[in-house]
């Protein structure tokens, strides 16, 4: 039998105020940025919809839903298509996050990650430090629940 290495292939996804840390399995695809089609009467963090593989995906700003300012759109902006989890998966199998740059692959080992003591925002599952870099692990169930409540 092969010995497991104890590492998880993950992505650092840059947003304005932090990097998000997600396992590769949570990210369906990274696509080029296209301006989302806005929807009136929705919260500022809901940026609108983009088309992806014939599906209309809701796009959100992690910074705004977490109580931060969004900042200027980076010329390297991308959209991360996220696999939804939890109760909302059937009604919302995918949603999208605005990225402020190109996500970067990182192999995370248990001994390289530590939880940070400072409090996070409502969309943060946990704030961590990975190999000397700060990151937030997003609460994907919270994000999907917020989207399903407004859609």
- Select from 2.40.50.180, 3.40.50.1110, 3.20.20.370, 1.20.1270.30 the CATH code of 9-150: 2.40.50.180
Question: For 61-78, what is each residue's pLDDT tens digit?
Answer: 999 999 999 889 999 999
Residue 119 to residues 37, 61, 116, 122, 123: CA-CA distances in angstroms? 33, 20, 8, 10, 11
Domain boundaries, the chain: 9-150
Residue 2 confidence class, pLDDT cut points 50, 70, 90: low
The mean per-residue pLDDT over the stretch 36-48 comes to 96
The yes-or-no verdict on residue 47 having pLDDT over 50 is: yes
Contact 141, 23 (CB under 8 A): no
Query: pLDDT at position 71, please?
Result: 85
């Amino acid at each position: 039998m092969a010995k497991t290495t104890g590492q998880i292939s993950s992505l650092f996804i840059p947003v304005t105020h932090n990097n998000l840390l997600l396992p590769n399995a949570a990210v369906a695809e990274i696509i080029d940025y296209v301006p989302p089609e806005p929807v009136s009467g929705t919260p500022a963090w809901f940026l609108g919809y983009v088309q992806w593989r014939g599906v209309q995906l809701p796009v959100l700003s992690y910074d705004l839903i977490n109580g931060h300012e969004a900042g200027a759109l980076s010329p390297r902006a991308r959209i991360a298509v996220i696999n939804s989890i939890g109760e909302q998966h059937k009604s919302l199998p995918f949603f999208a996050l605005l990225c402020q740059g190109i996500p970067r692959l990182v192999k995370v080992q248990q001994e390289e990650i530590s939880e940070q003591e400072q409090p996070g925002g409502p969309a943060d599952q946990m704030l961590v430090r990975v190999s000397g870099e700060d990151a937030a692990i997003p609460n994907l169930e919270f994000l999907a629940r917020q989207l399903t409540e407004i859609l």
